[in-house]
């Protein structure tokens, strides 16, 4: 198989959540366990760190990978979805898995795939484990795809688990309250394995405490250990347990990234206790070089300055609020918003967050799961929001650029898949 033939096989033959929605989700870990068993249980051959959450898990995964790279470790990183190429999902020290390796892996395991009939995500997770084991990584950062308890990644026994912010997302599969969603995310907590919660939320605090205590898993809330102060324009995180200070400079935009940085600092502390060698300089360099070290994109990413063009993968209420808060710190004349989403998102909770005086361009990603542009515009109109409908995201962006002046801002937001079409 060539790489293109391999992708065609993966995309068309296997159930795929990003295209089909919840119909592609398996309700147990049986397939992943069977795949791993057939591959010799590669997930047992390297150390790992497991990260779940509604918002922030991607940023924390990349931040921590960057810190560990700066400390001299060979670091695997598994994330999803991808923006430009499938190979972005599986990286070692920021370098994407070779296309030929992917093709060879699928070709060598066609019989296993035909027998087990896994989903796209299940085979991708197993593939990442096999690659990390084959390349003998020192440690792998494994980001969950959806939820935690039944997520395909939840077959590892990590050194450490991290759970970031909890918000109302994928409510049709994870539950319609923060408590129910937190219970699903808490499924990654393992017996006697430390867990970090990046942000204290009143609705979810007891869910995490009860789950951790039932498994004798040490639990720590990062925002209770690290507090933020400003000094001479610099951001300093202070460890309240020993009053040690770490001055940080993030290359990821957004004050909300401080929440994620707290979790990374606490994770670094805990890994040092597990005899990892990580210095304060490694942490500082890692946090200031996340994009360079790992290739992370789409987190309030400034693409152009005149006009100001920003790409952001925020797609739920909490994420959009964080993005708009960061946007308020920038000066511009008129705001142009290019927005599209998938069909399982509650746009009635997101669209009202945007400024009513913005110029809107409704668009639709090139995936079956995308919300139809006609339905999106209709729902927007019901909320008193009027805008143009331009089906292809690249055309929508060109239209906004034609209209915008150099003093304006164009914000592209709402879906990973919109950015995938643009990038």
Domain boundary among 294, 323, 341: 294
Q: How does strand 359-362 pair with strand 139-143?
A: unpaired
List pLDDT tens digits, range 198-254. Answer: 999 999 999 999 999 999 999 999 999 999 987 667 899 999 988 899 999 999 988
Residues 64 and 182 in one domain: yes
- Same domain for 63 and 187, yes or no, is yes
Whole-prediction pTM: 0.92
Together in a domain, 339 and 365 = yes
Domain end call among 251, 277, 294 = 294
The structural domain count of the chain equals 2
Q: Are residues 260 and 340 in the same domain?
A: no
Q: Is the pLDDT of residue 18 over 80?
A: no
* Separation in Å, CA 30 to CA 145, 153, 312: 17, 12, 35
Question: 217 and 166 share a domain?
Answer: yes
Tokens 């026994």 — which residue?
Answer: 157
The whole domain housing 314 covers 301-422
- Find how far residue 412's CA is from the centre of its chain: 17
Per residue in 91-146, pLDDT (tens digit) is 999 999 999 999 999 999 999 999 999 999 999 999 999 999 999 999 999 999 98
* 281 plus 384 within the same structural domain: no
Domain at 364, CATH number: 3.90.190.20
3 state SS for 57-121: HHHHHHHHHHHHHHCCCCEEEECCCCCCCHHHHEEECCEECCHHHHHHHHHHCHHHHHHHCCCHH
Last residue of some domain: 246, 272, 294? 294
What the block records as the tokens of 153 is 């990644």
| 220: enclosing H helix or E strand | strand 219-221
Residues 305, 287 share a domain: no
Residues 258 and 145 in one domain: yes
Residue 12 shares a structural domain with residue 133: yes
Distance CA 6, CA 11 (A): 9
The CATH number linked to 29 is 3.40.1190.10
Q: What pLDDT is stored for residue 407 in this prediction?
A: 97
- Same-domain check for residues 149 and 208: yes
Q: Do 111 and 163 share a domain, yes or no?
A: yes
Q: What is the pLDDT of residues 332-349, one digit of tens each?
A: 999 999 999 988 888 899
Query: Are 152 and 124 in the same domain?
Result: yes
């Amino acid at each position: 198989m060539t790489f293109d033939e391999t992708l065609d096989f993966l995309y068309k033959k296997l159930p795929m959540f990003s295209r089909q929605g919840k119909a592609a989700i398996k309700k147990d870990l049986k397939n992943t366990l069977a795949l791993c068993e057939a591959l010799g249980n590669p997930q047992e051959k390297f150390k790992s760190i497991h990260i779940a959450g509604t918002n922030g898990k991607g940023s924390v995964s990349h931040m921590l990978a960057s810190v560990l790279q700066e400390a001299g470790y060979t670091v695997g990183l598994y994330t999803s979805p991808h923006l430009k190429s499938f190979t972005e999902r599986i990286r070692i020290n920021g370098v994407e898995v070779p296309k030929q390796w992917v093709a060879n892996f699928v070709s060598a395991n066609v019989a296993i795939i035909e027998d087990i009939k896994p989903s796209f995500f299940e085979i991708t997770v197993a593939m990442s484990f096999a690659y990390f084991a084959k390349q003998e990584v020192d440690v792998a950062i494994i980001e969950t795809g959806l939820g935690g308890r039944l997520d395909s990644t939840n077959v590892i026994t990590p050194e450490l688990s991290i759970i970031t912010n909890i918000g109302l997302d994928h409510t049709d599969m994870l539950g319609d309250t923060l408590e129910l969603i937190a219970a699903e995310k808490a499924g990654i907590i393992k017996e006697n394995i430390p867990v970090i919660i990046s942000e204290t939320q009143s609705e979810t605090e007891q869910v995490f405490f009860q789950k951790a205590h039932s498994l004798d898993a040490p639990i720590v809330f990062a925002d209770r250990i690290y507090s933020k102060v400003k000094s001479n324009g610099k951001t300093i995180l202070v460890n309240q347990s020993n009053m040690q200070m770490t001055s940080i400079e993030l290359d990821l935009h957004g004050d909300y990234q401080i929440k994620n940085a707290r979790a990374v600092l606490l994770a670094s502390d805990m890994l040092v206790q597990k005899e990892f060698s990580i210095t304060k300089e490694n942490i500082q360099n890692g946090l200031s070089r996340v994009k360079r070290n790992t290739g992370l994109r789409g987190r309030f990413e400034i693409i152009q300055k005149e006009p100001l063009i920003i790409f952001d993968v925020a797609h739920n209420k909490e994420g959009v609020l964080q993005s708009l808060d960061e946007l308020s710190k920038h000066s511009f004349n008129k705001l142009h918003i290019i927005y599209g989403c998938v069909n399982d998102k509650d746009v009635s909770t997101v669209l009202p967050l945007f400024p009513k005086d913005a110029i809107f361009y409704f668009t639709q990603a090139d995936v079956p799961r995308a919300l139809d542009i006609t339905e999106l515009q209709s729902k927007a109109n019901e909320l008193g929001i009027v805008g143009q409908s331009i089906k292809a995201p690249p055309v929508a962006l060109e239209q906004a650029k034609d209209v915008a002046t150099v003093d304006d801002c164009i914000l592209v937001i709402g879906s990973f898949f919109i950015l995938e079409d643009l990038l």
